[in-house]
Structures are given as structure tokens and as C-alpha cells.
Structure 1
């Protein structure tokens, strides 16, 4: 086990080749936990004119299936790093967390370890870092958490809006009570990766224009900013008279050589459809009143059930967050009893990532987790490539949006637990189920909130 916690500098670049067309030269300059790049990511080509490649995380639970504990411990490890780098305090849990991170079968302690004297507002970025931000938040004894959202809520006004320039879906909204952010508390922004830092700069400017303060921190698994990008942070600090700390598990620089010109017409998606066995599990009916609802609905789903408070989309205190853990355990224990074999996949949907991941961690051994996504990636069955296969489908919750699932090989699982925050009409869901059934024919659809049993 690698337990060296001083920074490891690896100045010699190494190259990742993508589709024999694109070379990414990577130089790692800071690696505080001595992690190997292959511990954290693979590479893939994006179908996106703004940015042609993607670091496909192996610890996030988005595109690649992971043990659910891996994603949860990843957030805790970032909190451990934040505590040391920004606050100058050792958690006393570094070795334990790192061991659990590198050995997913090992039990980890989910108790908060960041002192209540630190009381930040933590923001996770949709859609990729909603679970990472929440897992990071779990380490805090005090504080508040919310995640940005791409959804438009029917009866609420977004407090902060900003753009993610390289993303496939760019607009972020925040639906929280104003007093959660109208204060002088430190803001911690959590994302899976920083490449240029423009997204972080955009949200800091947006927050500071309305709710100024002095302390900001940007936390990410990977940080690939150049010297020029870091200079932009320094200039923003001077312009706004603020301090911005940046914390990551691995940082360095990247150089891109070559180009790819891909579109969805050239991508080979899985198209076979099968009629599988579908079982619908409405948690609200089976285990009523476990999770609190928020009486709001999406503009895209006007008659759908309410959202859930536990996601953090509308804001969540540390105390409220911890109060949900017993419900997660009970739901996980029930779903474990519904498993068909020794290998199960829990599949989150879009930005609804944390609750499925957390519940999956209570469903027993042999459970893996990842999520659907809006991000189009070019699939290729090459060794070390981040998207071996791909399923493309209309989002059952908003059929105007295309979604994707990657790395779902036939025969890998005995069953799938497909999670939705809210109930979805069967006619909108069935095409997606038929597509998934070509890989895993036994599917349990889990609704955490719904109007009636199915």
C-alpha cells in the first residue's frame, strides 16, 4: 500500500494515446498520496467540438462502474486533503482513508472528521460532481451543501446562474434559500476535474457579485491548469480582494497533440433491444416517510412527484444530512433482499447520483455503481480506453435530452437496480429498459419518491 503523504513530483511526461489520432502528454507535478494515474482515470474521445477528449474517472461513479465505497471515500479523501492544505490540520484518518480508497472491500468509517469550527457552504457541480460534492460534505461536522442543477424548477427562482463553457450542457442553476449563501462563510466548490478553471471562475464571479465574501476553495480530483490559468486565479484574487485555494488529489499539466473529428453518426452505439423482466419498486410505498419531499416539480415533468430533500439540490445542513443515513441503510437492506445473484449494478440517473451510490453501499458485497450521463463519448473497445461500449437513449424524464450509459457489458451482472428520484411514466421508460435488457435482462426500477405503487 502506498502511504507516502508528502508531495511526489513526477516531472517526466507520459503520453496517453486516444484512437491513434490524439496524444495527451501529461506531466504530474503534485501527487500528495502517491496515486498512480491508472488509479484515477482512463482517457476517451468526446463528441464535443469545444473539447475533444475526456479524463474518464475510475473513482467518480459516472462513466465507469465502481464499488460504491470508492466514490464515497474519494470525497472523504479530498476533505482530508482540504483540512491539511487549507486549514493546516491533520485529520488523523489519512492512512485509513487511503487504504479504503485503494482497497474497496475494506470497511471505512463514515463519521464526520472535520471540526465544527469550520462551517463552510459546499457546492457540488452538476451533473458529474453531485455525488462527489456530497461525499466531500459528509466529512464535515458543520456546514451546508447544495449542488447546481441543469433542471428548471417550476415554482422556484434560481439564486445563482453561471455557465460551464466546455460542457455539452452549459447552464447551471441553484435553487436554495437565499440565507444559505447570503453570508460571509467560506465557499468550497467541488468538481471532478479542473482543466482551465473557467467554470470555477465563472461561479466565483457570479457568487461574489451578489454575495461577496473573502474565502473560496476549489476542490477537485484532478487539476490540469497551466501557469496561465493559475495566473487568472491570482488576478481574480486581486480584483475581488479574495483568497482562492485549490485542492486536488493529483495535479499537473497536459499538452494536446493531434485532433479528432467525431460525430454521433460515426459512433457505434448498442442498438439491440430485448424484452426483459422488469420489477418496479416504489420505496415511498414500501418504506413510507423515510425521506422528506420538497414540493417542487420540473418544468419538463409538470405532473411528476416532488423532489427529495436528501439530494441537496435545494440545500442541506450537516445535521439534516446525517439524519438521513438510517433511512439509506434501511432502504439498502431492503434492496439487498431483492437481489437476484452475487453481482448487481446500481445505476443512477443524470445528476441523481449520490443517493443511489450511498444506498448501494448498504446493499451487500458484489454491488457496483455508476450513472447515466448527458455527455456524448465516442465508444471504442480498446484496452485502457474509457468507454468500451455505449447506449444512447432519450432521457425518460425529459425526452428532448439525449442520455448515455457506458461500459455496460452483457453478462457482467445478475441484475440492475435503476434508480430515479421520482416516478417516470412507463411509456417514457420502456424504450430505455428494452435497451438495457440487451445487456442485463433482469431490471429493478427503484423510485425513491412516487405517488402510488406500481
Structure 2
């Protein structure tokens, strides 16, 4: 170990072991054996460039010459840098044994872990695209508990970068950081930056500068296969670390330098022009390409482009043997040499598949990847890049369809090539007559295509005050903000479109109802009168769940009626039990199911078995049935719905089965965090998007959302003993659903000649919705119902809707929508339907 120490920082260089006793013995033997079988390995694959260009590798006096073991030399068409250091253990340009490639990264990670000690458990590892994506991932594996992210040059629609930096000497200079969790680069642990070579330090300094501004920390570790900095560059890093006030360490397999003559760019360009023959086109004729279904685990990221956690690593490790067996079963009989070929940044998954395949077949398995870097190919033993395949890009890159390359694949005697791409790259260009697969087929007996599903980051929950008037900790909305989209339509138009089948109710929004002063007074009177009753029901349903399912609950309220109830349940758990239950709002749409992207988000961040779906009340049970059906394809989620009030007898977990006024049903957005009902429309919601909703910021002066919550929470203490009694009784009772409400709805639909149970809305909450959002026909009220229906009578009077008192009604009231609604239609009483 050598290096200097400064104030608050240190630069440390680890050199490769020379006695083969520390970690690297097996890896070194494997490397030597691999190189012995590599064509041209007996001559150093840098001689050709060194002799003609005057480039040479330099090793400090008295230190072992590891550089020639690790590096060859080639020339590239790049105005910024003439030469290319070709790693023999990276798996990018030179096909290598996967155990050598992976083992090298693991060993570097172990050294970083030894260096960091206890801090290793808090480390975040960042790899550089494109060459070091697998190296960085392997280093993270060697650390053991590190979270991994690599930069990318591929923009992902809908994903906002948390940072970026430039790599001046590269063929493609811009790097993006696109973590699924924007806080992934944060934390107080070390940041470990991994690249294949550490030449001047400019790229690393650019990276640290950009990240330190947003995510400051006290320690950085730079990891590379080779440290080739000169004295000036080492001094620059020392100065940079001192000014930053952070410690910066360097870990490398080998140290040294590169001597470049002053006219290296001109001479290099001349050599490229003299020797750069056009590559041959792929041979015409039949070619065999077989697809291999890997059985890639659902939801497992394809790599570190958006972050890769230890939990992801464990899932991959468990799945690798079966995936390797699937590939091995498709290899030709008697195959002796097989290449697993990754695709640009997609290096880690193909590397691990290659490593697993080596254990599943008797064939020698090699690993390399395609690249966007243009390099001269010269078929000479002393040159690192012997052959070159050139083909159009096939992943719709930001820089256009310009050429891509695969080096040292042609003429290497591979009996089969396994091309591993992500699904974004599985395009017509990949399969075209001049595409990668056609080129590979011209140089091997069989091409296998294995496609890894491209991981697209899930959207992030929205929180107040940016979205909704609720506090950020009260609820995370698994919705997208459609506030700037005009979605409202007149009530009559919506009703006509819905009943005619021309539109689904979730494709538009009703005009937000603005209550009169008289109606608002009724709301406040009802809230004051029922707050204790609501608090008791909130406590009962929450404590029943805690008793039956434990304290690890995750509340998922059905937006929007269920969301105030979910917030109150969360507040009860915190107030009474000191629990901080996560709470999210999700969309479910009758006839179209639940938001599957929201389910994927919940499954990615929580154990699905801990998720409890919450709603305000049940009517006839349509949403209860919808939820159960929607969750069938999603194992692990419990389809049981928990509600505050279950007058319909549709669920077994409830606060009460009485049909009473829940004041949050009296209003729309102004009691629900100023959020609209949810929207599902194909032109607005894609397959990877959350359902949508609007935030009515302009109604802030009328908002009573927090007032409703605070009023109910203020009554928690006085109902605690009643709640305890209620829970004991419920836990001992038969709470099986009776579906009495559904039977009543079917009877009413028949008696009134409606013929569609969806137009019968039972219960105080559903009747209120009919009067606020739909075109009501009439209201059925249970004879003798009291003050709970005052707001119903007021709304009905305002809209000219008759209220009919009836007997034998399991609900306090039922709202009816006329089944033959058209503009100007009249109801059975002769009144205009409006």
C-alpha cells in the first residue's frame, strides 16, 4: 500500500498481490489458463501499437509489472484520444472466462470492504457506463451489502435524472443518473465510484463535484482495474479532496502510467486511415436464431441502471441456475466453445448468466459485450482487437442509429453465441439482414437470443403540499397529477355518455360541486354530532386489523372515499399504539379493476401480505367484488377489504354495520385533500403509469379536509374503552359477509323496473354521491330515518328529486339513477330528470 496523506483525506493505492496468496490465487490461475487458450496470447497484445505509435506502459521502479497482464493496446477513431487501453479482464472487447471477469470485481469489492471496515455496510456503489457497469456491480457484490447504481447514456421516458456528468475523452460523453429512488445517492455512508481505468481523474472529479453538491458526504472511494495517473493528476486529486473537506481513497489492481508521444493524435489518425478496411457484410443465406425463455424473475431489474439492492441480488442468485439450464438445453450437441454476448450497458446480467452457464455445460464459456466505441481492428497477434463486427444500433438510442461493434467474436471458433439483450433492444433492427444477429450467425453454428425484461422505474408517490392538502406523512398518493388536463363535463352529458356506453365514468370528471352556505352548515353540524361515532368506528376497524394481522400493516386506501378513513386509521395507530403505519392511496375503477402499477409499487416496497385495502363504506359490494377479482393475478395480496361502515354486509372487517352519515361523504374534494376522483383514460394513462387525478388548488379557501381529520382525532381518547369492548366482541363473533345489501339492491332494481343494479346506489354515502355527481331519479329513505339524512333531503330539494319513505330497507337510504336517461327525459312522477 502506498500513497500520501493530507488534511481530512487520503489517497491510497492498492496494488495487485504478487505472491498469489491473498484472495487472488484461484483467480490468477484461472486467468493464466484462460490466456494460454486465447489466440495470440503468447505475444503481448500491445506490441503492434507500441512499435508504430510509440505508446508504452510504464511501471514505477521497483514495483511489479501487472499492467501488461491486464491491458493490451489498440487504436480508435476518436479526436480526443488516439489509443485504447484494452482490458483483458473486463469482458468488454476481449472474450474472457466469466469467472475471471466476475472474480476480479469481487476481489476489488472485498478490498474496499476491508478498507472501509464498519462503514462498508452504508456504502453506495456507482459504476460508469458503459464499460464498467458489470465491474461496478461485481464490486458491489464483493462489498456484500452495498446498493448499486450505474450511470447510463440511454434516457428513459418519464424518468427524471437526479444528476449527470461529462466524460470528456469518451466517444459518447454524457452520463445520466436515473435511480428509481431519487434518494439512493444520499446517506452518510461512503460513495464508491468504479471505472475500468483511472487515467487523469477528470471524469471522477466531475462526478464527485456534481454529486457532492446534491448529496454531500465525508468519504469517497475510487476503484479501478488500473491507476494510470501522473504526478500532476495525483496532486490535483489531493488538492480537490482537501478543498472538498472529504476523504478520497483509491483502490486499484495495478498502478503505472502511459507514455504518449507529443504527436500521438496525428500519428494515430494516420494509422487508422491506413489500416481501417471496411468490415464485411453478413453472409447471405439461411441463419438459425433460437429464442431462449430465461424465466427472468418478475420485477427483478435487468441491472443497476435504476438501482440494484441486496434483495435484488438474492433473487438473482436464486434464479440463475434454472436460467442457465434453459440456455444449456438449447446449445448444439457437442458444443466446445460458447460465447455469451452482452449488449453495451447490459453487462452484469449476461456476465452472471455466463458464469452460471459455465457450471451447467462442459463447454468452455466466454463472455464479452458489444460497444459503441469505434476501434481499429488489425488481425495481428500483437494487437488487442483482431476482428470487428459492425451493425446498426438496435435500442433506439438518443444519439441515433449509428454503428455499434462487437470485437474479437468473428473467427474465434465459437460453436454457439448467446446474445443477451434487454427488451428495449429487441427491435426489428436487431433482427434485420444487417443486424447483430445476422452478423453473429455468419460466424457460429447457432445463435441463441435471450431477452431480459427492461426495468422501467415505477412512478413515485405524490404527497402534500405539492399534491393534496394533506400533510406529506398522512398519505402517499399512488396517482399521477392531471391537474392541467381539462376533464370536467356537465353532469347531464356524462350521464348520457355513460348509460349509452359511449364512455366509462372514469374517463371524465363531474364539475366539482360547490356547496351552498346552508349545506356547509349541515356538514359542520353533522361532523360535530358524529365525530365520536366515527372515532369509535375508526378505532374498532384499526384495532381489529392489528389484533388479527399484527403491527406491520401497510394501509392502502381506495381513492378517494377511502383516503380520509385511511388517514384516520393511521392517526389512531399512532395516537393509541405509537405505530407509524405506511399509508398510500390507490385507484380502483368499477369494471376495469385496480391500478396494477400501484400494486407493483406496493409489492416493490412492502411485503404484499402486509397490505390492507381500506374504503369508507360498502354499498351493495360492487367494489368488494371488483377488488377480489382484480387481485387474482397478484399473489400475496389479501383481497379482504376493511371499511369504516358495512351496512351491506359485504366484508368481515369493519368498524360498524350501521348505515350512518360519515361527513366525509357529504362533500367532494374539499373533504378529501382537494383531490378529484380518479381518472383512467387510455390517452392519459399508459401501462406503466399510475391512474390519474386532479388537485383542485383553487378550492383551498373551502377546504375542510384537515378540519374533518382533526375533529375526529380529538375524540379518540373518549372512545378508547368502547373500542376495546367492540373489538373483543367482534373477534369472538361470526363476521362472515351476509350480502344482505346486494339482495336488497336486486329487489329494488326489479321493483322499480331499473334492470341494472349499477344504477341503484345504496347507503348514505352512495346516495350522497348520486346527488352530487350523477343525474338522480329519486331517493328511497327508510321510514323514520332522522338527522343522518338532513343533508340528503337538502340536496334532493335543491335538485328537484323526490324523497320516498319506504319500509323494509336495510340502509338508511338508497339513491336511484333513471335507467333510460336522455336530455329532457321525465321520471315516473312526471318531473324532469336533471
Q: 1:52 aligned to 2:82?
A: yes
Please give the alpha-carbon distance, in whole angstroms, between the structure 2 residues aligned to 1:116 and 1:233. Answer: 22
1:159 to 155, 158, 162: 162
User: Does the Cα contact within 8 Å between 1:47 and 1:378 map onto a contact in 2?
Assistant: yes
Aligned to 1:10: none
Q: Cα distance 1:408–1:415, how it changes in 2: closer, same or farther (>3 A)?
A: same
Please give the alpha-carbon distance, in whole angstroms, between the structure 2 residues aligned to 1:171 and 1:185. Answer: 26
- Please list the CA deviations of residues 337-374 of structure 1 after superposition, one character each: whole Å capped at 9, or x if unmatched: 11111211111011101100101111134111101001
Please give the alpha-carbon distance, in whole angstroms, between the structure 2 residues aligned to 1:252 and 1:411. Answer: 31
Matched ranges for 1:313-324 at <5 A: 313-324=305-316
Matched ranges for 1:315-354 at <5 A: 315-340=307-332, 341-354=335-348
Q: CA deviation at 1:29?
A: 3.0
Any idea what SS the aligned residue of 2:60 has? strand
Q: CA deviation at 1:55?
A: 1.0
Matched ranges for 1:37-186 at <5 A: 37-84=67-114, 86-87=115-116, 118-176=121-179, 177-186=181-190
User: Does the Cα contact within 8 Å between 1:218 and 1:244 map onto a contact in 2?
Assistant: yes
Larger Cα-atom Rg: 2
Q: CA deviation at 1:17?
A: 5.0
Any idea what SS the aligned residue of 2:351 has? helix
Aligned to 2:426: 424
Instruction: Indicate the larger mover: 74-83 or 51-60.
Output: 74-83
Q: CA deviation at 1:233?
A: 0.8
Q: Cα distance 1:18–1:35, how it changes in 2: closer, same or farther (>3 A)?
A: closer
- Please list the CA deviations of residues 212-268 of structure 1 after superposition, one character each: whole Å capped at 9, or x if unmatched: 111001000011001111111111112111111011000112211243115579512
2:237 to 229, 233, 238: 233
Matched ranges for 1:253-264 at <5 A: 253-257=257-261, 258=264, 259-262=267-270
Where structure 2 has 5 or more consecutive residues not aligned to the other structure, the ranges are 1-17, 24-45, 455-834
Q: 1:246 aligned to 2:250?
A: yes
User: Does the Cα contact within 8 Å between 1:380 and 1:389 map onto a contact in 2?
Assistant: yes
2:293 to 251, 271, 283: 283
Please give the alpha-carbon distance, in whole angstroms, between the structure 1 residues aligned to 2:365 and 2:190. Answer: 36
Any idea what SS the aligned residue of 1:48 has? coil
Please give the alpha-carbon distance, in whole angstroms, between the structure 2 residues aligned to 1:64 and 1:271. Answer: 20
Q: 1:357 aligned to 2:341?
A: no
Aligned to 1:97: none
Please give the alpha-carbon distance, in whole angstroms, between the structure 1 residues aligned to 2:19 and 2:325. Answer: 33
Please give the alpha-carbon distance, in whole angstroms, between the structure 2 residues aligned to 1:116 and 1:337. Answer: 44
Any idea what SS the aligned residue of 1:193 has? strand
Please give the alpha-carbon distance, in whole angstroms, between the structure 1 residues aligned to 2:354 and 2:140. Answer: 18
Please give the alpha-carbon distance, in whole angstroms, between the structure 1 residues aligned to 2:246 and 2:298. Answer: 37
Please give the alpha-carbon distance, in whole angstroms, between the structure 2 residues aligned to 1:185 and 1:17. Answer: 45
TM-score by length of 1: 0.82
Q: Cα distance 1:233–1:116, how it changes in 2: closer, same or farther (>3 A)?
A: closer
Please give the alpha-carbon distance, in whole angstroms, between the structure 1 residues aligned to 2:290 and 2:158. Answer: 29
Please give the alpha-carbon distance, in whole angstroms, between the structure 1 residues aligned to 2:345 and 2:191. Answer: 21
User: Does the Cα contact within 8 Å between 1:132 and 1:190 map onto a contact in 2?
Assistant: yes
Aligned to 1:385: 383
User: Does the Cα contact within 8 Å between 1:122 and 1:146 map onto a contact in 2?
Assistant: yes
Q: Cα distance 1:223–1:269, how it changes in 2: closer, same or farther (>3 A)?
A: farther
Where structure 1 has 5 or more consecutive residues not aligned to the other structure, the ranges are 7-14, 90-114, 294-307
User: Does the Cα contact within 8 Å between 1:344 and 1:415 map onto a contact in 2?
Assistant: yes
Q: CA deviation at 1:82?
A: 2.2
More strand by share: 1
Q: CA deviation at 1:269?
A: 4.1
Please give the alpha-carbon distance, in whole angstroms, between the structure 1 residues aligned to 2:126 and 2:232. Answer: 25
Matched ranges for 1:376-415 at <5 A: 376-398=374-396, 400-410=401-411, 412-415=413-416
Aligned to 1:369: 367
Q: Cα distance 1:310–1:393, how it changes in 2: closer, same or farther (>3 A)?
A: closer
User: Does the Cα contact within 8 Å between 2:292 and 2:448 map onto a contact in 1?
Assistant: no
Q: Cα distance 1:16–1:255, how it changes in 2: closer, same or farther (>3 A)?
A: farther
User: Does the Cα contact within 8 Å between 2:120 and 2:143 map onto a contact in 1?
Assistant: no
- Please list the CA deviations of residues 54-74 of structure 1 after superposition, one character each: whole Å capped at 9, or x if unmatched: 110110000000011111001
Please give the alpha-carbon distance, in whole angstroms, between the structure 2 residues aligned to 1:392 and 1:408. Answer: 11
Q: CA deviation at 1:35?
A: 6.6
More helix by share: 2
Please give the alpha-carbon distance, in whole angstroms, between the structure 2 residues aligned to 1:159 and 1:346. Answer: 33
Please give the alpha-carbon distance, in whole angstroms, between the structure 2 residues aligned to 1:381 and 1:20. Answer: 16
Q: Which has the higher contact order (CA 8 A, sep 6+)?
A: 1
Please give the alpha-carbon distance, in whole angstroms, between the structure 2 residues aligned to 1:351 and 1:117. Answer: 26
User: Does the Cα contact within 8 Å between 1:276 and 1:443 map onto a contact in 2?
Assistant: no
Q: CA deviation at 1:135?
A: 0.9
Please give the alpha-carbon distance, in whole angstroms, between the structure 2 residues aligned to 1:31 and 1:191. Answer: 26
1:273 to 279, 282, 285: 282
Q: CA deviation at 1:397?
A: 1.5
2:54 to 11, 23, 26: 23
TM-score by length of 2: 0.45
Total equivalences in the alignment: 397
- Please list the CA deviations of residues 184-237 of structure 1 after superposition, one character each: whole Å capped at 9, or x if unmatched: 221000000011111100000000111111100100001100111111111111
Please give the alpha-carbon distance, in whole angstroms, between the structure 2 residues aligned to 1:62 and 1:170. Answer: 18
Any idea what SS the aligned residue of 1:446 has? strand
